[in-house]
């Protein structure tokens, strides 16, 4: 191998490592944002909600910076095989991470709409959804960092618990509204928060799919909706 090829490989490795580091930082920021959005909802904390909404612009910037770095690698390094799969996976994963930030901001915006509506506590099903979503995301980011194909499947399975939690929350809130045990306004706020957490779980599943593609080259849909075809 010539000195030129050795230098080119070293430069590509440095650029890929920088992308991975930026992706991990974005993943952690998003996980914190999800946590804070539920905290703001629980405490009707408008100040924290505003911080989350304003901070969403920074998440968008982090996404765009990562996309530019990926495009630069493709244009200047012309990666092939596994290196190219890693860049393509990053381009897809970064979109899902940024959209998770949007879902967290959606919960924060709900807090701003609540006005005098106060929660003594959140439903246990919603609290469990929040904890599981954050855990699932952090595990998915770790799986991405290690390109662990086998663990990616296990991470995707965690979405089933989040879906179950959303069904339980929906049933509980609708029953409460029908029986006048909870106001319609409060019920809808909580349902919207649950919906955003459920969508985050779906997007984390997308990350697991991209890790499998990155590690094996296989495109596989995990946890498809009933009637959807699996691609292998």
Domain ranges of the chain: 3-216
With beta carbons less than 8 A apart as the criterion, state whether 132 and 161 touch.
yes
Neighbour count for residue 133 (Cβ, 10 Å): 30
List pLDDT tens digits, range 71-115: 999 999 888 899 999 999 999 999 999 999 999 999 999 999 887
At a CB cut-off of 8 Å and minimum separation 6, what does 72 contact?
15
pLDDT bracket for residue 228 (50, 70, 90) = very low
In terms of residues, how long is the chain? 232
Average confidence score pLDDT of the chain: 90
Of 103, 129, 124, 110, nearest in space to 44 by CA:
110
pLDDT at 229: 38
User: What is the CATH code of the structural domain delimited by 3-216?
Assistant: 1.20.58.220
Residue for token digits 């897809």?
92
Distance CA 51, CA 230 (A): 40
How many whole angstroms separate alpha carbon 132 and alpha carbon 165?
10
Provide the b/e sequence for 41-58 (b: ≥16 CB within 10 Å). bbebbeebbeebbebbee
């Amino acid at each position: 191998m010539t000195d030129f090829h050795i230098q080119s490989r070293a430069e590509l490795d440095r650029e890929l490592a920088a992308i991975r580091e930026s992706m991990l930082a974005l993943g952690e920021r998003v996980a914190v944002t999800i946590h804070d959005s539920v905290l703001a909802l629980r405490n009707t904390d408008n100040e924290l909600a505003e911080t989350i909404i304003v901070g969403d612009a920074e998440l968008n910037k982090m996404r765009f910076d990562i996309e530019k770095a990926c495009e630069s690698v493709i244009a200047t390094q012309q990666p092939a095989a596994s290196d190219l799969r890693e860049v393509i996976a990053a381009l897809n994963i970064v979109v899902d991470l940024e959209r998770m930030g949007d879902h967290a901001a959606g919960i924060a915006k709900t807090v701003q709409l609540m006005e005098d509506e106060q929660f003594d506590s959140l439903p246990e099903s919603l609290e469990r959804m929040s904890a599981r979503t954050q855990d699932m995301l952090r595990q998915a980011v770790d799986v991405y960092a290690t390109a662990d194909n086998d663990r990616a499947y296990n991470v995707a399975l965690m979405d089933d618990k989040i879906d179950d939690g959303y069904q339980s929350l929906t049933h509980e809130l609708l029953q409460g509204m029908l029986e006048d045990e909870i106001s319609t306004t409060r019920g809808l706020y909580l349902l919207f928060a649950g919906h955003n957490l459920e969508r985050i779980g779906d997007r984390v599943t997308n990350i697991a799919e991209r890790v499998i593609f990155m590690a094996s080259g296989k495109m596989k849909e995990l946890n498809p909706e009933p009637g959807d075809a699996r691609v292998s």
